[in-house]
Amino acid sequence: MNVSSVSSIEPSLLARQRILALARQRFFREGYARVTMDALARQLGMSKKTLYQHFPTKATLAAAVMEDFRTEVIDRVQRILEDRTDALPTRLARAFVEVAHQLQQLGRPFLEDLVRYLPDVWTETERFRSRMLPRLLGHALREGQAAGCIRSDLPVAVMIEGFLAVAQRLLTPSALTRLPYALPELIRWVVGMLFAGLLTDAARTEFHNAFAALPPHPDPRR
């Protein structure tokens, strides 16, 4: 690629990143319905024409925001699980606390609007979760069985189906807006219940100790 091509592409990519960052911040905090494309363009200091060149509709912008968010969450979790500095029970605890922290960004107004205005976006999020959870968690569970941390008498496929079933029931906009609990607290309860039966006795103690020691919000420097 020549220099002129790079110089013509980079401003466009930078503009797209700025749009996504601001849209994520405002959608997640205020909800999808209350944020207008006009308001975003004004805050970004760009014309509506430029904004619509990147995202033809507000719905396509919201879909891109969620795609970007999903990818970021998976990348963070994958880095934690692949970091062999800690033992697997500690890595699992860190990974689930990270998920809780990331999902907490999704404010109640946005979750309600996902159900009402953007059902296709949430459907794609569920598909993404169903594809990625078996890959990430499956690798960790097999590693745990080999290391003696996870019970070897339980098939990995069955354990994964259990996690997916819980996620499909509890980690949904309707459930998260209906249940009167903070998301980090809810995830801690659910994960604690699930892993109580999957871990070996020694690993269970290490996992719960690590889980209890982690702050609700991971260190932002990580």
Total number of domains in the chain: 1
| Domain range for 167 | 59-213
Q: What is the rounded distance in angstroms from the CA atom of residue 49 to the CA atom of residue 36? A: 14
CA distances in angstroms from 33 to 117, 172, 221, listed in the order given = 8, 19, 33
Q: What is the rounded distance in angstroms from the CA atom of residue 126 to the CA atom of residue 170? A: 12
Q: What is the rounded distance in angstroms from the CA atom of residue 183 to the CA atom of residue 127? A: 21
Question: pLDDT of 31-75, one tens digit each?
Answer: 999 999 999 999 999 999 999 999 999 999 999 999 999 999 999
In a domain, 116, yes or no: yes
In a domain, 46, yes or no: no
pTM assigned to the model: 0.81
Answer whether residue 222 shows pLDDT above 50: no
Answer whether residue 217 shows pLDDT above 60: no
In a domain, 108, yes or no: yes
In a domain, 22, yes or no: no
In a domain, 5, yes or no: no
Question: pLDDT of 171-190, one tens digit each?
Answer: 777 787 788 877 777 877 88
129 secondary structure, DSSP code:
H
In a domain, 135, yes or no: yes
Q: What is the rounded distance in angstroms from the CA atom of residue 159 to the CA atom of residue 194? A: 9
Tell me whether residue 140 is exposed, middle or buried, using C-beta atoms within 10 angstroms of its C-beta: 0 to 12, 13 to 18, 19 or more. buried
- CATH number of the structural domain spanning residue 196: 1.10.357.10
In a domain, 40, yes or no: no
| Terminal-to-terminal C-alpha distance of the chain | 34
In a domain, 36, yes or no: no
pLDDT band at 118 (very low <50, low <70, confident <90, very high): very high
pLDDT band at 23 (very low <50, low <70, confident <90, very high): very high
Output the pLDDT for position 216: 60
Q: What is the rounded distance in angstroms from the CA atom of residue 51 to the CA atom of residue 63? A: 15
Question: pLDDT of 120-133, one tens digit each?
Answer: 998 898 898 889 88
